[in-house]
Amino acid sequence: MTTLLYFAAIREKVGHGQEEMKLPDHLATARDLVGWLRSRHEGYEYAFADLSAVRVAIDQAFAGFDDPIRSATEIAFFPPVTGG
């Protein structure tokens, strides 16, 4: 099982902050996961419409959308973070 976490505006568009699921075997990267999520429900379509406004972390480490997810236990999606 993989835990998917959604933060801020992404959470609002998806409609929940967390879900656990067994990911389909054909998903190799975070980009594949996003494409699959977008096909599941229009909330995901809205949340991931502009990937330049989304960041991803795999097992609590910043990652890119082309990074592998096969052994991930947690994948988080959030808007860009700024310091202050």
Question: How do the domains of the chain map onto residue ranges?
Answer: 2-75
Closest to 4 in 3D by CA, of 79, 62, 75, 84: 75
Model pTM greater than 0.75? yes
Per-residue pLDDT of the chain (84 residues; tens, 9 = 90+): 999 999 999 999 999 999 999 999 999 999 999 999 999 999 999 999 999 999 999 999 999 999 999 999 999 999 987 665
Matching residue, tokens 């082309």: 66
Handedness of CA 43, 7, 82, 72 (dihedral sign): negative
Judge: domain 2-75, CATH 2.60.40.10: no
Q: How far is CA 4 from CA 13, 20, 33, 82, 83, in A?
A: 14, 6, 10, 22, 24
